Amino acid sequence: MPEISKMKKPDVKVVILGDMNVGKTSLLHRYTERKFRDTISTVGGAFYLKQWGPYNISIWDTAGREQFHGLGSMYCRGAAAVILTYDVTSWQSLAELEERFLSLTDTANHDCIYAIVGNKADLTDPRAQLPADPQSPAEGGEPGTGPRVPSACPTPPASPLSPGSPPQQVGREEAAALYGRVLRYKGLDEGSSLPADRMCFETSARTGYNVDLLFETLFDLVLPSILRKRTENQRSPTVDLEDYCEPPGRRRGCC
Amino acid sequence: MSVKAFELVPAVERDLLMGDKARINVECIECCGKHLYVGTNDCFIHHFLLEEVPSQKGGIKYSAQKLQQKYLGLKKPVAELRAASALERLIVLCDGVLFLVDMATLETVPSATGSGGAKIKGVTSFCMNGNPVNTDPFCVEIAVISSRRRTVQVYTVYEDRVQLVKEVTTAEQPSVVSLDGYFLCLALASQYMILNYTTGASQDLFPYNSEERRPIVKRIGREEFLLAAPGGLGMFANAEGVSQRAPVNWSESVIGAAVCFPYVVALDQDFISIHSMLDQQLKQSLAFRDGHILQDFEGKVVLASTKAVYVLVPLPLEQQIQDLLSGDRVEEALVLTEGAQPNIPRDRFQILHRRILQQAGFIQFGQLQFQEAQEYFRKGELDVRELISLYPLLLPPTSSFTRCHPPLHPFADLNHLAQGDLEKVLRCKRFLISYLGSVRGTEASRASREEVDTALLKLYAEQDHESLLDLLASDNTCLLADSSPWLEKHSKFFALGLLYRCNGQDSAALQLWIRVADGELQDSTRPDLYEYIVDFLTFCPNLDLVWRYSDWALKRDPKVGVQIFTKRSSGKDQSGQPMPDDVITYLEKHSPARLLYLEHLVLERRIKKEKFHSLLAVLYLEQVLSLLEGAPPPAPGQLSLARERLQALLRESNLYRVQLLLGKMEGCDQLLLERATLHGKLEDHGKALDILVHQLQDYSSAEAYCLWASSSSSQGAACRQQLLHLLLDMYLGGGAEERRGDLEMAAVDLLNRHGERFDAVRVLSVLPEGWSLQLLKPFLGRAVRTSVHASRTSRLALGLSRAENLQLLHDRLKERKKPILVSEKRGCHLCHNTFSCPDVVCLPGAVPVHTHCIAHRLSDSALNTHADSAPSKHVDSAPNKNSTQNSNHT
Ligand SMILES: Nc1nc2c(ncn2[C@@H]2O[C@H](COP(=O)(O)OP(=O)(O)OP(=O)(O)O)[C@@H](O)[C@H]2O)c(=O)[nH]1
Ligand SMILES: [Mg+2]
């Protein structure tokens, strides 16, 4: 039997998890195709190979439907980053992340990084309603209020944008709290991990708000993981003193 | 959906297998080269020879020939069959017993003596290792699921014996097994797992309820398995437990699956579904009744219903791609092509890929999706002539191009494509314009430069496009022969001229343009075509052309036409420029132009050549004379204008032949002023002034004459004084009695106006006695003031010069500020006696002398010269000692 041709082997894997209908497919589609279009509920899973500089990053879009839940840990195996996605208009979708999806990440890399992403921000945040096309960055709100800066006053639930919007919106601080619990679950020290305000995003696949930022932040963060994987693959018994890397987080001080 | 990727071809029909015995079913199959083995539920193995034969339709058919059949004697169905061709054995599972059968004879192989035998009992299922770890070619490795609870065994099978390698237990009862290297991939009761049988390391894959649904574990390649997953998925997993391909969504009740790159083929009870691994889409679905078995053998997918055997024959990749393209499914065709890249030799792939891209481009083009089309054309490196050839008449008949065969698209030409929709045609043309513009000049279109440029030219001309002229003005390879009728048809004569030029046919260009300028041909491209032609001739280096066509330009408008000569580069490099003499000769017939040209030479370029100056003066004079004679009286002002020009030339130029002009003016009483000027040129001032004073009685001109005639002299002031005196004398010398008063008044005026310019003493001596002081008051006032002024000015100048001189001496001394040594041993330079005291005078050059010696010397020279050149008196009163010290320092 002839060997099936191997595909371009990705250097690193990023997995998008989250309940059905939170917009995982739409996010990936917005990022890769720069469009928002109708989706059908994902069956099984799909992935996209992204060329990031000299690296190939595979981004897995998983199915949120309960039926496919069992496949999740397989997708997560060896993942360098996991995007835990909820729907900012659905409290339940945030709760599901902790109840159903967090345990799937047990198979991910030990140094896997986690991002908490509240999608459909266009439904709650006026800033997310502007088209965030990179060609016209001027439209994307004042640069001073960077999206990662935790807003001093959370989106007031009392002023919903449309009268019919669901009442149980999820605020940023709840996402940040979940992030803290994810770290605890992973047995990670909050002090030495990436801070919540860097790893919690509110996005809109519909307008593109923060979508590039999300993916590109993650790609930049997983680069060290790629480099390590590459050196592991060509591991030699000789210790390379030149290549020695200081473990992150511990900086050599003066005396 | 619906790509035709496979064709279902019958291999062994019911008749050959069981005839009309209704109870007999196919249980298992094995295919090894041309040999097909079928195990049935009545414990028979049937052996066929399967030959491929081409069918009339171009595909293939199978003809099966039954070689033999063998009853195994167990009355139980033959559950599984596997061939080990190197051993010439079939491994058979029947009634829970696994044993070996000779491939050729189908005889059961007796156990070798002394070994564990060639039988394994209590087997529920087994598989062969697709990636054996044993290097011995004469054995195969198998994994066996034992009917003992939760046990999997690995055996090595030899020709006549089997040998247990390893036995592992599992947490749950396994039902299906697959083996790759050391990796067992197992379907357990509630999940799939990967188990390394040497290390015992295991990896859970994902949950699956094997009791509810039939699990599938199919090795599809090195360390990669295809598994049936919940929700009707086909999941991929490698030995590390990682999924590297996206799952396909087949169905909940799949019986068997296999991979035939790039497709996943899955068998359901009533149909076969075919998904692409490249985009996970369902590509084809075939009805298949009573589906029972689906297996692939060395890339050949064989299926069986309960009664018959079929082969799923893949259609050639290229045909699949063409099918997709003919359904306008460009994206899919490309995904398929690109996905097949690793399976196709590099150069063949490139050709195929390019072709598909080009076809894709034409499909988009046909749908007027120009942006996409352009992208595909670019990526597919389309020979741009393929596209041009779609547009009628755009390709030059001389082009060697023929369309690629088989054709890249179904269109005969643009009209066929547009079906008479003119709007569409127009859009296509606009696209071609932009496309050609973008490929023009790129390396890719080098070979078809001429076609590209010519097509562009034609399109521009037809569409009245502004870039037509830009194209022709730039470096281009438009074919003249093919383009010129086209340009004529669209009345682009100006452009045609440019094209002639590009082809080095300037003369043809000029002829054409002249016809347009004369209104013989209509082309409104340039309303200023005449000026353009003049400009062209002006900068035309080919003098032949200039001589040939300037005539026309001069005739039409001498003033503009003469620019051909006057605006030519007058820079240093005069080579290749017409000689002015030749031009003048040439312009003989065009006298206004000749005049302008001479003016250009004389007045603008200031060429100092007698011939030009004389000729110009003569021409001016002739003009004046003809105006004077003027049968039709000249317009007012015209004469004076002409005379002014003449006079100016006569005054300003020193090069013309004065006598010649004087001769021509002979007998013309009206040109006295000019004559006076000419006499002036001859320095015959008496005659000149005589004309002015006595004949013209124009005193102001006489006065002006004096100033003018002296202005060119080297000794201006002296000469002027002389002339003024001459004039004064003429005034005072009298003339006719009745004019005496006038002349005297003129004399008084002259004196009073130019008091300072006369030699007052001389004037006083010639003035008539009777003139009152009052009359001459301005003159006298001016004369005295001038004299006083002169005296004061010179004294001032003297003072200033002295001061300057002093300053300079001071500076000089400062420059060479060395101590001046005076000692008893040194002598004075004037008297040569030694110094006795430090008071000395220093001459320039730091020469000390006695004070009395220099005083003496000065009083001597003061008597001889008036010039005051006293040396500065510098007394170095420093004591000797001090001076010596200073000198030591230096
Ligand atoms: N308003 C708004 N709607 C969104 C956004 N993203 C997705 N949606 C909508 O949410 C629905 C679900 O989107 P999907 O991307 O299919 O969700 P999913 O997470 O992939 O769902 P599963 O594949 O079933 O797990 C669709 O109707 C989208 O149109 C968003 O940013 N804003
Ligand atoms: Mg989805």
Q: Which atom of ligand 1 is nearest to the CA of A40?
A: 16
Mean pLDDT computed over B396-402? 87
| Contact call for residues A250 and A237 (beta carbons, < 8 A) | no
Q: Is B464 helix (H, G, I), strand (E, B) or coil?
A: coil
Burial B695-716 (b: 16+ CB within 10 A, else e): eeebbebbbebbebbbeeeeee
Residue type, B149: R
Q: Is B3 helix (H, G, I), strand (E, B) or coil?
A: coil
| Contact call for residues B707 and B719 (beta carbons, < 8 A) | no
Asked if the model's pLDDT at residue B274 lies above 90, the reply is: yes
Q: Helix %, strand %, coil % for chain A, to 5?
A: 35, 15, 50
Domain count within chain A: 1
Asked if the model's pLDDT at residue B318 lies above 90, the reply is: no
- The pLDDT of residue B875 is 44
CB contact under 8 A, B242 and A2: no
- The pLDDT of residue A251 is 43
**Residue A17 CB less than 6 A away from ligand 1:** no
CA distances to B7, B28, B216, B246, B304 from B288, rounded to whole Å, are 12, 17, 19, 26, 9
Asked if the model's pLDDT at residue B816 lies above 80, the reply is: no
Asked if the model's pLDDT at residue A122 lies above 80, the reply is: yes
Residue A68 sits in a domain whose CATH number is 3.40.50.300
| Least Cα separation, residue A45 to chain B (angstroms) | 6
For residue range A18-62, what is the model confidence (pLDDT) as tens digits?
999 999 999 999 999 888 988 899 998 998 988 888 888 999 999
Asked if the model's pLDDT at residue B197 lies above 80, the reply is: yes
Q: Contacts of residue A45 in chain B, CB cutoff 8 Å? A: 243, 246-247
For residue range B497-506, what is the model confidence (pLDDT) as tens digits?
999 988 989 9
Mean pLDDT computed over A164-174? 71
Where does the pLDDT of residue A113 fall: very low under 50, low under 70, confident under 90, or very high at 90 and above? very high
- Considering every ligand atom shown, identify the ligand nearest to the alpha carbon of residue A85 and give its number: 1
How far is B724 from B705, CA to CA, in rounded Å?
Answer: 10
Number of A:B CB contacts under 8 A?
A: 80
- The pLDDT of residue B124 is 92
From the list A42, A39, A201, A17, the residue with the least C-alpha distance to A121 is A201
| Contact call for residues A70 and A107 (beta carbons, < 8 A) | no
- Considering every ligand atom shown, identify the ligand nearest to the alpha carbon of residue A27 and give its number: 1
Task: Report the separation in Å between the CA atom of A87 and the middle of ligand 1, taken as the mean of its atom positions.
Answer: 9
Q: Considering the domain boundaries, does residue A36 fall inside one?
A: yes
Asked if the model's pLDDT at residue B702 lies above 80, the reply is: yes
- Residue located via tokens 């250009």: B600
Mean pLDDT computed over A79-86? 95
Q: Considering the domain boundaries, does residue A249 fall inside one?
A: no
CB contact under 8 A, A70 and B230: yes
**Residue A208 CB less than 6 A away from ligand 1:** no
| Contact call for residues B264 and B226 (beta carbons, < 8 A) | yes
Mean pLDDT computed over B799-812? 91
- The pLDDT of residue A55 is 85
H helices within B816-850, ranges in order? none
Interface residue A6 vs chain B (CB under 8 A): yes
Tokens of A150: 């935790």
How far is B357 from B362, CA to CA, in rounded Å?
Answer: 9
From the list A64, A9, A17, A59, the residue with the least C-alpha distance to A42 is A64
For residue range B836-859, what is the model confidence (pLDDT) as tens digits?
877 778 777 777 888 888 888 888
From the list A5, A16, A21, A17, the residue with the least C-alpha distance to A50 is A16
Asked if the model's pLDDT at residue A255 lies above 70, the reply is: no
H helices within B221-269, ranges in order? none
| Contact call for residues B141 and B134 (beta carbons, < 8 A) | yes
- The pLDDT of residue B115 is 53
Beta bridge partners of B276: B263
- The pLDDT of residue B878 is 41
Q: Considering the domain boundaries, does residue A85 fall inside one?
A: yes
Residue to mutate (ligand 1; options A15, A17, A19, A21; most atoms within 8 A of CB): A21
For residue range B597-647, what is the model confidence (pLDDT) as tens digits?
888 888 888 888 888 898 888 888 888 888 888 767 777 788 888 888 888
| Contact call for residues A134 and A212 (beta carbons, < 8 A) | yes
**Residue A50 CB less than 6 A away from ligand 1:** no
CB contact under 8 A, A74 and B130: no
For residue range B445-484, what is the model confidence (pLDDT) as tens digits?
888 888 999 999 999 999 888 889 998 988 888 999 999 9
Q: What is the residue range of A55's domain?
A: 12-142+167-233
From the list A111, A113, A114, A115, the residue with the least C-alpha distance to A229 is A111
For residue range B287-305, what is the model confidence (pLDDT) as tens digits?
998 889 999 988 889 999 9
Half-sphere exposure of B53 (CA within 13 A, CB side): 11
DSSP for B81-120?
A: EEEETTTTEEEEEETTEEEEEETTT-PBPPPPTTSS-SEE
CB contact under 8 A, B296 and A43: no
Q: Considering the domain boundaries, does residue A105 fall inside one?
A: yes
Q: Contacts of residue B248 in chain A, CB cutoff 8 Å? A: 44
| Domain residue ranges of chain B, discontinuous segments joined by + | 6-315, 821-883
Q: β-pairing, A200-202 with A113-119?
A: parallel
Average pLDDT over chain B, rounded to whole? 85
CB contact under 8 A, A3 and B231: no
Q: Contacts of residue B222 in chain A, CB cutoff 8 Å? A: 3
Per the model's pLDDT, the better-predicted residue between B197 and A153 turns out to be B197
Q: What is the dihedral of CA B330, B331, B337, B340, to 10 degrees?
A: -150
CB contact under 8 A, B240 and A47: no
- The pLDDT of residue B881 is 40
Mean pLDDT computed over B799-807? 93
| Contact call for residues A79 and A105 (beta carbons, < 8 A) | yes
User: Helices B506-517 and B529-538 sit at what angle, rounded to 10 degrees?
Assistant: 150
How far is B27 from B25, CA to CA, in rounded Å?
Answer: 6
Q: Which of A213-227, B162-176, B402-416, B847-861 has the lowest mean pLDDT?
A: B847-861
Residue to mutate (ligand 1; options A33, A39, A41, A84; most atoms within 8 A of CB): A39
**Residue A39 CB less than 6 A away from ligand 1:** yes
From the list A254, A255, A134, A125, the residue with the least C-alpha distance to A202 is A125
Q: Residues of A numbered 42-71 whose beta carbons fall under 8 angstroms of chain B's beta carbons: which are they?
A: 43-47, 63, 65, 67-68, 70-71
CB contact under 8 A, B299 and A6: no
Q: Helix %, strand %, coil % for chain B, to 5?
A: 45, 20, 35
For residue range B324-370, what is the model confidence (pLDDT) as tens digits?
888 888 888 888 888 888 778 888 889 889 998 999 999 999 989 89
Tokens of B762: 């001389």
Tell me the fold of B6-315: Methylamine Dehydrogenase; Chain H (2.130.10)
How far is B249 from B231, CA to CA, in rounded Å?
Answer: 8
Per the model's pLDDT, the better-predicted residue between B435 and B684 turns out to be B435
Q: How many CB atoms lie within 10 A of CB B551?
A: 14
From the list B595, B600, B544, the residue with the least C-alpha distance to B568 is B600
How far is B564 from B585, CA to CA, in rounded Å?
Answer: 15
Tokens of B779: 């003159």
Q: What percent of chain B has pLDDT over 90?
A: 31
Interface residue A73 vs chain B (CB under 8 A): yes
* Residue in B207, B241, B297 closest to A77 by CB: B241
CB contact under 8 A, B247 and A45: yes
Residue type, B880: N
| Least Cα separation, residue B505 to chain A (angstroms) | 50
Q: Residues of A numbered 96-125 whose beta carbons fall under 8 angstroms of chain B's beta carbons: which are they?
A: 107
- The pLDDT of residue A150 is 40
Q: β-pairing, A81-87 with A12-18?
A: parallel
Highest mean pLDDT among A115-119, A191-195, B608-612, B757-761: A115-119
- The pLDDT of residue B273 is 94
Asked if the model's pLDDT at residue A156 lies above 80, the reply is: no
For residue range B531-562, what is the model confidence (pLDDT) as tens digits?
999 988 888 888 888 889 988 988 888 888 88
- The pLDDT of residue A101 is 94
* Residue in A45, A65, A74 closest to B205 by CB: A74
**Residue A206 CB less than 6 A away from ligand 1:** yes
- The pLDDT of residue B575 is 66
Mean pLDDT computed over B820-831? 79
Q: Which of A151-165, B166-180, B367-381, B664-678 has the lowest mean pLDDT?
A: A151-165
- The pLDDT of residue A1 is 39
For residue range A170-185, what is the model confidence (pLDDT) as tens digits?
888 999 999 999 999 9
Mean pLDDT computed over B249-262? 90
* Residue in B130, B206, B221 closest to A70 by CB: B206
Asked if the model's pLDDT at residue A143 lies above 60, the reply is: no
- pTM of the full predicted structure? 0.62
**Residue A202 CB less than 6 A away from ligand 1:** no
Q: Which atom of ligand 1 is nearest to the CA of A62?
A: 25
Residues with Cβ within 8 Å of residue B526, at least 6 apart in sequence: B494, B532
Q: Which atom of ligand 1 is nearest to the CA of A39?
A: 16
Residue in A closest to B223 by C-alpha: A3
- The pLDDT of residue B562 is 87
Q: β-pairing, B248-249 with B256-260?
A: unpaired
Q: Which atom of ligand 1 is nearest to the CA of A38?
A: 29
- The pLDDT of residue B886 is 38
Those residues of chain B whose CB sits closer than 8 Å to some CB in chain A are 130, 204-208, 220-222, 224, 229-231, 233, 235, 237, 240-249, 259, 261, 280, 296-299, 341-343
Kindly provide the residue ranges of all beta strands, DSSP E only, lying in A99-182, ordered along the sequence: 113-119
Per the model's pLDDT, the better-predicted residue between B819 and B786 turns out to be B786
Q: What percent of chain B has pLDDT over 70?
A: 94
Task: Report the separation in Å between the CA atom of A181 and the middle of ligand 2, taken as the mean of its atom positions.
Answer: 25
Residue nearest to atom 9 of ligand 1 (CA): A23
How far is A189 from B114, CA to CA, in rounded Å?
Answer: 65
